[in-house]
Amino acid sequence: MIEAKPGTFTKTTQFEILRLLKENEGNFVSGAGLAEKLAISRPGVWKHIKRLRAQGYDIQSRSRLGYRLLDVPDSLAREEIVPNLKTSWLAHSYHYLKTIGSTNDYALLLAAEDAPHGALVVAEEQTKGRGRLRREWISYPNCGIYLSILLRHLLPVRVAPQSTHVGSLALVKTLREEFGIAASIKWPNDVLINGRKAAGILTETQSDQDFCRISVMGIGINVNHSREQLEGPFRYPATSIAIEAGFAVKRQRVLLQFLSRFERDYDRFLREGLSVLIPEIEAHLGILGKNIKVICGDREITGKAQGLTPEGALLLLGQNGSKEIVWAGDVSRVEGAA
Ligand code: BT5
C-alpha cells in the first residue's frame, strides 16, 4: 500500500536561498541581495529563512548585515544530498520522504511510473519497513537511513538478486574507509559491526520467465540509534554505527559515501559479473573459516564456511567432508561470536 505519490525535482526558492548562503559560507549575505537575486520581496526572504530554521538550519540574522549560515541539520533532504553527489547516474532522481510505509514499495511505484535507472528513495522513517520473508524492519525516525535504489537492467533471473552482495560490499567499505569502523559482511544480506547487525538489505526483483528488468535494492542502516532502541528482541543482536563508534555520525556523509561506492561497484558488476567482486567480498566476510549453522526454509545446514562461489552462493564443508552450496538462508550461529 503506497501512502504518497512521487514528486519531481524543482529548484525551489528555499533551495536557492540555501545554495547562496552555502556559497558564502561563514559570511553574511544581505537580505536585499537575496531578494534581488531571487526576484522576491525581503519579507519573502524572511519567510523562507524562518522555514529553514524550523527545519533545523542554524541561520544568524543581523540588521544591516543580512543572514549567515552557521550549521546545517543532519537531514537527508534533497538540498543537503543532491548538490553533493559524486555519482553519474545514481540518486540524481531523488525522492525524499519524511515518512513512508516502505521505501521498497515506493521505489516499485516509481518503476511503474518510468523513473530512471538509479532513482533513489530515502525516508526519515518507515512505518512498514520489511526484511526478507516479510519480517519487520524497525525504522526509528531521524536516526537511521532507509533507502531503496531502483535498478533497471537486463539480467538473467538468477543473477539480479546478486546486487545484494554489491550493496553489502559498498556499505562495509564505506564504514571501514570513511569511518575506520571494522564492519563485516554476514552472508548474504547483513552488515555487522563487532558481531552485531547494523544494517540489512532486501533486494526485490521483477522478472519475466528468463530475464529481470527491474530490481529494487533496499537498505536499512542503524546510524545514530541508542542502545535502548536496539534492545530487541531481534533474531540477531543489533547495534548502530554510533554505538560502536562511540560518537554520533553524520548520516549525510554515510549516504553520500555509500552511493559513490555502490555506483562504482555496481557498474563493475554489470560489466564484468559478480565474480570480479568476490575476492573483495570474501575479504570482508566475517564467517569465513568458521563453523556455522544456516537455516534454509525448514532445513538446517551446518559446516565450515569456506568461501563464495562466483555467483555469491556460500560454500560449506560438512563434518564428513561433504561440500554443500547454499544459495540463500539465515546464518544463525557463528562459532566464536557473542
Ligand atoms: C533484512 O532482512 O535484514 C533486510 C532489511 C531491509 C530493510 C530496508 S529499509 C529500506 C528498505 N525498505 C524496506 O521496507 N526494507 C528495506 P532479514 O535478514 O530478514 O532481517 C530481518 C530481521 O532483522 C527481523 O526479523 C528482526 O529480527 C531484525 N531487525 C529488525 N529491525 C532491525 C534493526 N533496525 N536493526 C537490526 N535488526 C533488525
Three-state secondary structure along the chain? CCCCCCCCCCCCHHHHHHHHHHHCCCCCECHHHHHHHHCCCHHHHHHHHHHHHHCCCEEEEECCCEEEEEECCCCCCHHHHHHHCCCCCCCCCEEEECCECCHHHHHHHHHHCCCCCCCEEEECCECCCECHHHCECCCCCCCEEEEEEEEEEEEECCCHHHHHHHHHHHHHHHHHHHHCCCEEEECCCEEEECCEEEEEEEEEEEECCCEEEEEEEEEEEECCCCCHHHCCCCCCCECCHHHHHCCCCCHHHHHHHHHHHHHHHHHHHHHHCHHHHHHHHHHCECCCCCEEEEEECCEEEEEEEEEECCCCCEEEECCCCCEEEECCCEEEEECCCC
- Which pLDDT band, with edges at 50, 70 and 90, does 11 fall under? low
Nearest CA to 139 out of 101, 169, 106 is that of 101
What cell was used for 243?
554505538
Distance 232 CA to ligand 1 centre (A): 12
pLDDT at 319 (0 to 100):
83
Question: Which is higher by pLDDT, 233 or 124?
Answer: 124
Strand 144-156, strand 120-123: pairing: antiparallel
The residue-averaged pLDDT of 109-133 equals: 96
> Could you identify the atom of ligand 1 that is nearest to the CA of residue 220?
9
- For atom 21 of ligand 1, the residue with the nearest CA is 131
329 lines ligand 1 (CB under 6 A): no
- Which pLDDT band, with edges at 50, 70 and 90, does 1 fall under? very low
- Of 57-61, 97-101, 108-112, 319-323, least confident by mean pLDDT is 319-323
Q: How many other C-beta atoms are found inside a 10 Å radius of the C-beta of residue 270? A: 16
The residue-averaged pLDDT of 319-327 equals: 91
The residue-averaged pLDDT of 185-210 equals: 94
What cell was used for 92?
540524481
What cell was used for 40?
522576491
Distance 120 CA to ligand 1 centre (A): 19
Mutate to test the pocket of ligand 1, among 99, 137, 225 (most ligand atoms within 8 A of CB): 137
> Could you identify the atom of ligand 1 that is nearest to the CA of residue 234?
27
Nearest CA to 301 out of 329, 282, 321 is that of 329
Distance 197 CA to ligand 1 centre (A): 9
What cell was used for 310?
562466483
Distance 93 CA to ligand 1 centre (A): 25
103 lines ligand 1 (CB under 6 A): yes
- Of 249-258, 290-299, 325-334, least confident by mean pLDDT is 325-334
Distance 26 CA to ligand 1 centre (A): 41
Percentage of residues in the chain with pLDDT exceeding 70? 95
The owner of cell 535502548 is 228
- pLDDT above 70 (res 123): yes
The end-to-end CA distance of the chain, in Å, is: 38
The owner of cell 531502483 is 150
234 lines ligand 1 (CB under 6 A): yes
pLDDT at 26 (0 to 100):
82
pLDDT at 47 (0 to 100):
93
d(CA 315, CA 196): 23
Each residue of 158-185: pLDDT tens digit?
999 999 999 999 999 999 999 999 999 9
pLDDT at 131 (0 to 100):
96
What mean pLDDT value characterizes the chain?
92
- pLDDT above 50 (res 5): no
Phi, psi of 323 (to 5 degrees): -105, 140
The residue-averaged pLDDT of 126-131 equals: 97
Angle (deg, nearest 10), helices 163-179 and 251-272: 140
Each residue of 204-236: pLDDT tens digit?
999 988 899 999 999 999 999 999 999 978 888
- Which pLDDT band, with edges at 50, 70 and 90, does 6 fall under? very low
The residue-averaged pLDDT of 83-91 equals: 96
- For atom 25 of ligand 1, the residue with the nearest CA is 135
Apex 183 CA angle, 104 and 147, nearest 5 = 15
Phi, psi of 168 (to 5 degrees): -70, -35
Distance 105 CA to ligand 1 centre (A): 15
> Could you identify the atom of ligand 1 that is nearest to the CA of residue 135?
25
Each residue of 243-276: pLDDT tens digit?
999 999 999 999 999 999 999 999 999 999 999 9
Apex 172 CA angle, 331 and 129, nearest 5 = 65
137 lines ligand 1 (CB under 6 A): yes
pLDDT at 8 (0 to 100):
37
165 lines ligand 1 (CB under 6 A): no
Distance 80 CA to ligand 1 centre (A): 26
220 lines ligand 1 (CB under 6 A): yes
Residues 6+ apart with CB under 8 A from 34: 17, 20, 45, 66, 67
The owner of cell 537492467 is 153
Phi, psi of 28 (to 5 degrees): -75, 145
Distance 219 CA to ligand 1 centre (A): 8
pLDDT at 336 (0 to 100):
56
Distance 338 CA to ligand 1 centre (A): 20
- For atom 11 of ligand 1, the residue with the nearest CA is 218
Distance 33 CA to ligand 1 centre (A): 48
